[in-house]
Each structure stands twice: as C-alpha cells, then as structure tokens.
C-alpha cells in the first residue's frame, strides 16, 4: 500500500497515464465508456 500522502489525488495519476498513452500514439474514440465496478 502506498503512503497516505500518495493516495489523495487520483486525477494526477489518470492524467499521467493519459499523457504517456498519448505520447505512445494510443487513442480511443468517443465510444469509450467507464466501468465503475471493475475488480482490482
């Protein structure tokens, strides 16, 4: 488990993942949908 100070802003992690996917040329169209109950 990460330290509590690293668990407060999930938006930064999502933005970072999106940035690296964008740089790698990975794109999704507007049909992409969220699945809120995925298992970890």
pLDDT in tens, 7-40: 777 888 888 999 999 999 999 888 888 888 888 7
Q: What is the pTM of this model?
A: 0.53
Cα separation, 20 vs 15, whole angstroms:
9
Task: Please name the helix (run of DSSP H) or strand (run of DSSP E) that holds residue 37, with its range, or none.
Answer: none
What is the model's pLDDT at position 29?
A: 87
What is the model's pLDDT at position 19?
A: 94
What is the model's pLDDT at position 22?
A: 95
């Amino acid at each position: 488990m990460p330290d509590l100070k690293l668990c407060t802003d999930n938006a930064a992690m999502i933005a970072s993942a999106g940035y690296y996917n964008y740089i790698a040329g990975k794109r999704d169209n507007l049909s992409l949908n969220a699945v809120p109950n995925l298992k970890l």
